[in-house]
Amino acid sequence: MRSQRQRLAYILLAPLALFIGALTLYPTAVTTVEAFFREYSLVNNHNFVGLKNFHDAFSTPAIRQSFVNTGIYVLSGTVLSVVLGIAFALLLRQRSRWRAPLLALVVLPWALPPVVEALLWSRIYDPTFGPLNGVLKSIGLISHNQVWLGSNRWEALVLIELVQVWQTTPLCVLLILAALQLIPSELYEAGAVDGASAWHGFRYITLPLLRPGITIAMVAAITASLNIFDQPYILTGDASASASVGVQTYLVSFQNLNFGEGYALSLIMTLATAAISLLVLRLVYRRVEF
């Protein structure tokens, strides 16, 4: 009976093993190994070259720049998504008949393809017909139309990331809201009896108990922004001023057909994603008990 069930378990897991093994773990292993070999997709010579692919990649100024760009994407994206996520979740915390429809609207940007979202935002940033210039001019913040995605590199990076923040924030809201709803209201009542203000309640009750939710939201925002591709690809194409490491990986591999460097960049992205996620889990996560 027991061995029969054990056999059944392995039969049920066989399709999963096939998918994860053949299409996830094996390719990841290939990326890891191939990063250290010379490989052009056209010329099929294949020999160990050590760190040469990494060295070649980093001696390209556009690729070095893409690492700085990605750093800006990650920093601005994580801060904005998590702060907005906390703010929106606090606003949506109260149960009412409006909450479910509001939540449905808030989640909407998460559910749509980033390619189309970037297309729509490109119009908002349009120097001539875009509503961003229109609104800023009408409230007097700027006197004439700005070119948002061209003139100032740092500004362009944050505005491109904002398109991704628009998509990632709903996920952060849901994750933080889920943690928020676990906090028993008695804690706040006890705090009120002790004379705690709303700010104190947030600072000393809500925030510490939200740590598990905030951690997962941070990991979600970091992985999204670290691997950003669709938004810069649509908004600024192959312009290296705002290309992410992801965009450069694509260009190096499929435009320059230099798979060796493509593997090296892929491996860096993979290791960075895993390392930063685990670091955040270690540093920010605290198990909370109620």
For residues 65-84, which are near other proteins according to CB under 8 A?
A: none
- For other proteins (CB under 8 A), the number of binding residues is 93
Q: Residue 37 interacts with other proteins (CB under 8 A)?
A: no
Helix (H/G/I), strand (E/B), else coil: 37: strand
* Integer Cα distance of 204 and 195 in angstroms: 13
Cβ-proximal residues to 28 (8 Å cutoff; 6+ apart), any chain: 270
Q: Residue 240 interacts with other proteins (CB under 8 A)?
A: no
- Contact stretch for other proteins (CB under 8 A) within 1-9, 69-77, 188-196, 199-207: 1-9
Q: Residue 250 interacts with other proteins (CB under 8 A)?
A: yes
For residues 81-100, which are near other proteins according to CB under 8 A?
A: 87-88, 91-92, 98, 100
- Contact stretch for other proteins (CB under 8 A) within 66-74, 152-160, 201-209, 242-250: 242-250
Q: Residue 42 interacts with other proteins (CB under 8 A)?
A: no
Tell me which of 49, 79, 103, 136 binds other proteins, using CB under 8 A: 103
Contacts within 8 Å (CB) and 24+ apart, 131-134:
none
For residues 155-184, which are near other proteins according to CB under 8 A?
A: 166, 170-171, 174-175, 177-179, 182
* Integer Cα distance of 130 and 132 in angstroms: 5
Q: Residue 10 interacts with other proteins (CB under 8 A)?
A: yes
Q: Residue 254 interacts with other proteins (CB under 8 A)?
A: yes
SS (H, E, C) 242-255: CCCHHHHHHHHHHC
Hey, what amino acid is at 251? L
> Smaller CB distance to other proteins: residue 68 or 116?
116
Positive or negative, the Cα torsion across 193, 196, 198, 202?
negative
Q: Residue 233 interacts with other proteins (CB under 8 A)?
A: yes
Q: Of 53, 118, 127, nearest to 136 (Cα)?
A: 127
